Amino acid sequence: MNWIVRYCLILIFLCGISTSKSQDIFHNADSLFMAGEYSKSGLAYEWIIYSGPSPGIEARAVLGRIQSFKKLNLFDQAGSCLDQVNIFAMPDSMKAKILYESLLVNYLAGNFQEVQSRFLMARPFLQNTNFNPTGKLLLCLSHLKSGQWGLVPKSAESFIRTAAPPEKADSLIAQFYILFDTLQPPRLKNPKTARILSMIIPGSGQIYSGYLGDGLISFSLHLLAIGGAGFAFTQGLYVSGWIGGFGLLQKIYFGGIQRAEELAEQKDRLNKELYIQPALTYLIGLSEEYN
């Protein structure tokens, strides 16, 4: 029995040394983070990552670096942290946390396709953890944001059945389908069509995009520029007519073409947001209620 006791004491001693060293390594980085020096704390955590520590210390440093980037709203840089380390060499207790953070920061960065591809890798590690429901939520929100509305029903049902109590899941799913109708997606405008229409008839691209006032103003400005140039020529003011009339007309013409394309894109964004916003609000509300 004595040798067993001695062996246990040795293990406790070694764990104590390891913990002490870990705390010493993270003291500077954690202090900078708590002081709001997020740029400096990110560099301190990065130094720990590349100093060759154990996988457990490396995992904690990766998380610290991700949190530092998040505080600076540098979500793309936070998402790239995972690519610099070997996630499979880290302790199982840390894998789910790191993989979930990679999903979150890529979603915040607007990298919705990246969220979907990383979810496939993260799914086995997120199962049976507290990150599983929110991981599925991020997948569903990415489908909504990226316009992949045909994939939304499956991902939404998966999230709801994971997050909500089983006895409420069916009714919650039914309420979701009331808010999100895949059979009635928004009618989107084609920016290229708006551009071509404005090239043919100035202002028509803006009207096609749903901005009647912009279209009428654009058409009127073209008429005024042509009229001004014509009047100058009739008065013998050829240089003034050319520079003030046709020069201005050229700027208005090409500016109107660009404006029509931008308005079509803007209208599409508004229509998409109006279409998905009720579903987004509902799913996020469920997550806050059941997590």
Q: What is the mean pLDDT of each run of 10 residues along the chain (291 residues)?
A: 40 38 71 88 84 75 87 86 74 82 91 92 89 95 93 94 93 92 81 89 87 85 68 56 60 82 89 90 92 76
Q: From CA 43, how far away is CA 285, in angstroms rounded?
A: 36
pLDDT of 91 reads: 74
Amino acid at 125: F
Give the separation between CA 156 and CA 196, rounded to whole angstroms. 39
Residues, the chain? 291
Q: What is the pLDDT of residue 115?
A: 93
Helices (DSSP H) in the chain: which residue ranges? Answer: 2-34, 38-49, 55-71, 75-80, 92-108, 112-126, 132-145, 152-163, 166-179, 191-200, 204-208, 212-234, 238-240, 247-290
Q: What is the pLDDT of residue 240?
A: 54
Nearest Cα residue to 180 out of 275, 107, 113, 61: 275
The Cα 134–Cα 61 span in angstroms is 23
User: Shortest CA distance to 145 belongs to which of 280, 53, 286?
Assistant: 280
What pLDDT is recorded for position 234? 63
**What does the pLDDT read at residue 227?**
67
pTM for the whole structure: 0.75
Those residues whose C-beta lies under 8 Å from the C-beta of residue 264, and which sit 6 or more positions away, are 189, 190, 191, 193, 194, 195, 205, 208, 209
pLDDT for 17 = 36
Determine the pLDDT at residue 249: 66
